[in-house]
Amino acid sequence: MQFAKLLCSLTLAVAAFAADAGIWKVAPPPPASWQRDRVADLSARRKALMDQIGDRSVLILYAAEPRNYAGDVDWPFRQENDFFYLTGLTQPGAILVLAPGAEKIREMVFIPHSNPSRESWTGHMITAAEARETSGIQDVLEAGQFRGFFTALIPRSRALIPAPAEGGVPSGPGGVPSVPGGGTDATPPTSTPDWTTGFAKPIAYSAKQELQLYMILPARPNAVEYRREQEFAGKLASVGAGVNILDATTLFDNLRRVKSQREIEILQHAVDITAEAFQRATAAALPGAPEYEIQAQFEFTFLRRNGHWGYPCIVGSGNNATTLHYQSNKDSMKAGDLLLMDDAAEFDQYSADVTRTIPVSGKFTKEQADIYRLVWEAQQAGFAMAKPGHAASGGPDSIQGAAGEVFKQGLFKLGLITDPKSDAQMRIWFNHGISHGIGLNVHDPGGRELQPGMVITVEPGLYFRPDALQNLPKTPEMEQFAEAIRPVFEKYKGIGVRIEDDVLITAGDPKIISAAIPSKLEEVEAGIAKLRQAIKTTPMP
86-115 residues in contact with a copy of itself (CB under 8 A) are none
Q: How far is CA 160 from CA 60, 68, 232, in A?
A: 15, 25, 8
Residue 73 or 507: which CB sits closer to a copy of itself? 73
How far CA 478 is from CA of 395, 420, 463, 516, in Å, comes to: 25, 16, 18, 41
Of 43-51, 137-145, 319-327, 337-345, the segment contacting a copy of itself by CB under 8 A is 319-327
Of 263, 220, 243, nearest in space to 57 by CA: 243
CA angle 496/291/441 to nearest 5° reads 70
Kind of pairing between the strands at 338-342 and 355-359? antiparallel
* Sites for a copy of itself among residues 123-152 (CB under 8 A): 123-124
Kindly tell me which of 244 and 323 has the beta carbon lying closer to a copy of itself. Answer: 323
In angstroms, give the least distance from the CB of 124 to a copy of itself. 7
| Out of 208, 325, 334, 421, the residue judged to bind a copy of itself by CB under 8 A | 325
Stretch that binds a copy of itself, among 209-217, 257-265, 282-290, 507-515 (CB under 8 A): 282-290
Helices (H), 165-226: 195-198, 200-207
Q: Pick out residues in 456-495 that bind a copy of itself (CB under 8 A).
A: 463, 465, 467, 470-471
CA distance 55 to 51: 8
In angstroms, what is the minimal distance from the CB of 55 to a copy of itself?
31
Query: Applying CB under 8 A, does 73 fall inside the site for a copy of itself?
Result: yes
| Of residues 291, 358, 297, the one with CA closest to residue 331 | 291
String marking each residue 215-244 x if it binds a copy of itself according to CB under 8 A:
-----xxx-xx-------------------
What is the DSSP pairing of strand 501-504 with strand 511-512?
Answer: antiparallel
Q: Which stretch binds a copy of itself (CB under 8 A): 131-139, 166-174, 449-457, 519-527?
A: 166-174
CA distances from 252 to 46, 70, 391, 480 (A): 11, 32, 21, 48
Between residue 417 and residue 446, which ones bind a copy of itself under the rule CB under 8 A? 431, 440-443
CB of 222 to a copy of itself, least distance (A): 5
Kindly state whether residue 296 participates in binding a copy of itself, applying the rule CB under 8 A: yes
Q: Which amino acid is at 514?
A: S
Residue 191 engages a copy of itself in binding (rule: CB under 8 A): no
Residues in the chain, overall count: 541
By CB under 8 A, tell whether 185 contacts a copy of itself: no
Strand, helix or coil at 502?
strand
- Rounded to whole angstroms, the Cα distance separating 332 from 188 reads 59
For residue 140, give the nearest of 153, 128, 154 by alpha carbon: 128
Taking the C-alpha atoms of residue 28 and residue 268, their distance in angstroms, rounded to an integer, is: 10
Q: Contact, 309 vs 315, CB < 8 A?
A: no
Q: How many residues bind a copy of itself (CB under 8 A)?
A: 80
- Give the footprint of a copy of itself on residues 11-40 (CB under 8 A): 14-18
**Please, which residue, 203 or 315, has the CB nearer to a copy of itself?**
315
Name which of 116 and 487 has its Cβ closer to a copy of itself. 116
Choose one: 51-59, 188-196, 321-329, 362-370; the region binding a copy of itself (CB under 8 A).
321-329
Q: Which is nearer to a copy of itself, 433 or 452 (CB)?
A: 433
